[in-house]
Structure 1
Amino acid sequence: MRQRELGATGIPVSELAFGGVEIGLPYGIGVKGEEDMLSEPEAIHLLHAAIDSGVTFFDTARLYGASEMIMGKAFRDRRGQVIIETKCRQLRDASGELPNRATLKKIIKTSLQESLAALQTDYVDVFMLHQADLGILTNEDIPLIFDELKAQGAIRSTGVSTYSVEETSRAIETGVWNVIQLPFNLMDQRQAALFARAQEKGVGIVIRSVLLKGLLTSKGGQLHPALADVENHIRRFDDLVQEPIPDLSTLAIRFALAFPEVSSVLVGIDKLAYLHRALAAVNGLALTTETADRARQLAYPDPTFLDLPHWDRMGWLT
């Protein structure tokens, strides 16, 4: 497994990051409840298989159900082999407001303490804000609280998880966050415009949604009628799926890794077969310049429509 530097943190990470949401709670196409999930022993076996295959970077969050707890059990005897990235609880109150500094500090510190206990460790490598909107990113107290935790040694680096280009740009320009996790894939390539700036500022880029919640895999067929245009557009990438690219998910992962500014690509994994497929994609031949250029030209023309939380609320992903 090839490694890349996580921005200017000095932390090397595997090109493949193991996404831990699926082992913690029901998530993704076709997963309706706990009966569709791995058992705890199966999840631990999967995490061990990932480590044994060269994966060093694991992503989780306080809000991912049992994910941190399962990782804690899997990694307690292998802590030195893994880089753990986790995310803080939500900061806004029930009315959507940000609390005062004292309350923010309590939320953030308590969330980190809970994560450390669940993960059975005394530090995390990357501690992130979860869903950092513009209001959160312009708050002056939050970075100071994170810096205090960093100075105490409880976290090695700080990060934010963003959704929009505007949020990512703001996070980069603040100059206070070491890592940004952002959505990027074959269909929605808007964030690529900020990759060079992130590299200039020493910010590590971790890609999520690379498979568009499974739509850029074999699961991406027979979608809800409201997504007919999306499904038809996805099929346009089929022309690029030819040796040495065996399937659409491989194309999607290698496309993200074609950008040198990207530190790691996060893939949600809840089956051994999916792990092997992701490993084959990451460890295989890089895309040719021609294929990468053709993929860039096939971005979905209306990326604002690619709103998966909205699709979920509408019942289009069931």
Structure 2
Amino acid sequence: MKKRALGNTGIQVSEVAFGGVEIGMPYGIGVNGKEDMLSTEEAIDLLHEAADKGINFFDTARLYGESEAIMGQAFYDRRDKIVLATKCKHFKNADGSLPGYQTLKDIIESSLHESLGFLKTDYVDVFMLHQADLAILDNDDVRKVFAGLKRSGKIRVTGASTYTATETARAIDKGWDVIQLAFNLMDQQQAANFKHAQEQGTGIVVRSVLLKGLLSDKGRNLHPALSNVERHINEYRELLSDDIAGISTLATKFALSFNEVSSVLVGIDRSEYLDAAIRSVSGRLLNEAELSKAKQLVYPDPAFLDLPGWDRQGWLK
């Protein structure tokens, strides 16, 4: 497993990051409850297997159910070999406003304290805002609290998980060390920020690279409302070859073909998915012609790619 620099943080991370939401709570297509999830023991075994196969970057969050606790049990005795990223719990008031400095500080520090306890460690490598919108990113108190935690040594670098390209641009401008953002074959809007991130030394971690599994073998026989999406996914098959055997491999190699990207976050809850993720980064990336064609095959209406909305409509069952 190759490693890349996480921006200018001094941290080296594997090209594949292990996404920890699936081991902590029901998540993803076809996962409806705990009966569809790994047991704690199976999840620990899978984390160990991932580390043994070269993945050193593991992503979780305070809001990912049992994920932090499971990672803590898996890695407490090999902490120096693992890069851990976790995310702060939400701290906006019920009306959407932000609390004052002291309340913000208490919530953020409490969230980190809980994470450290579950992760069985005295520091996290990347501590991130979870769903950082413009109001949060523009708030000086939030940055002040995170900066204080960085100075204390309880976190190595700061991060922000964003949704829109505008939020990402703001996070880069405001000096957050690492940005986690959604980017994939179908929705390429965030690429507009890649050069700026590289110039500022900001680490870019890509999530949603498989679009919740749709950019894989799961992207077939979709709900009739998603017929245009399924037809579009099929268009990517013209880019498959002996070197790029499936759409999930194409999707992963596409993201990593941007040298500004430090790591690609892949949700993993089965050994076969782990092996597929590792295979997808082996060998060559996309050549110039393939990358150009993949950029042209962006989905024409990215606003329609609202997976939470599809889920609420029952289109992802």
| Cα distance, 1:94 vs structure 2 | 2.1
> In structure 1, how many angstroms separate the alpha carbons of the residues matched to 2:103 and 2:282?
45
Q: Which moved more, 1:231-240 or 1:93-102?
A: 93-102
- Deviation readout 1:143-167 (Å, 9 max, x if unpaired): 0000101111000000000000110
- Deviation readout 1:169-201 (Å, 9 max, x if unpaired): 1111112x0000000000000101110000001
**AA paired with 1:142?**
V
SS at match of 1:218: coil
**AA paired with 2:268?**
I
Q: Which moved more, 1:64-73 or 1:221-230?
A: 221-230
- Deviation readout 1:65-95 (Å, 9 max, x if unpaired): 0000000000011101100000000111222
* Structure 1 spans left out of the alignment, 5+ residues: none
Q: Which moved more, 1:260-269 or 1:308-317?
A: 308-317
Q: Which moved more, 1:60-69 or 1:305-314?
A: 305-314
| Cα distance, 1:137 vs structure 2 | 0.7
**AA paired with 2:204?**
I
- Deviation readout 1:194-218 (Å, 9 max, x if unpaired): 1000000110000000000000010
CA RMSD of aligned residues (A): 0.7
SS at match of 1:23: helix
**AA paired with 2:41?**
P
Q: Does 1:71 align with 2:71?
A: yes
TM-score, normalisation: structure 1: 0.99
> In structure 2, how many angstroms separate the alpha carbons of the residues matched to 1:115 and 1:55?
21
Aligned to 1:232: 231
Q: Does 1:309 align with 2:308?
A: yes
Q: Does 1:150 align with 2:150?
A: yes
TM-score, normalisation: structure 2: 0.99
Aligned to 2:126: 126
> In structure 2, how many angstroms separate the alpha carbons of the residues matched to 1:222 and 1:93?
41
Alignment of 1:219-298 (within 5 A): 219-298=218-297
* Structure 2 spans left out of the alignment, 5+ residues: none
Alignment of 1:190-205 (within 5 A): 190-205=189-204
| Cα distance, 1:283 vs structure 2 | 1.9
Aligned to 2:28: 28
Q: Which moved more, 1:282-291 or 1:25-34?
A: 282-291
| Cα distance, 1:275 vs structure 2 | 0.2
> In structure 1, how many angstroms separate the alpha carbons of the residues matched to 2:169 and 2:304?
21
> In structure 1, how many angstroms separate the alpha carbons of the residues matched to 2:261 and 2:112?
26
Matched residues, percent identical? 62
Q: Which moved more, 1:219-228 or 1:44-53?
A: 219-228
**AA paired with 1:2?**
K
| Cα distance, 1:100 vs structure 2 | 1.0
| Cα distance, 1:292 vs structure 2 | 1.1
SS at match of 1:283: coil
- Deviation readout 1:110-162 (Å, 9 max, x if unpaired): 00000000000000000000000011111110000001011110000000000
> In structure 2, how many angstroms separate the alpha carbons of the residues matched to 1:102 and 1:308?
36
> In structure 2, how many angstroms separate the alpha carbons of the residues matched to 1:110 and 1:9?
25
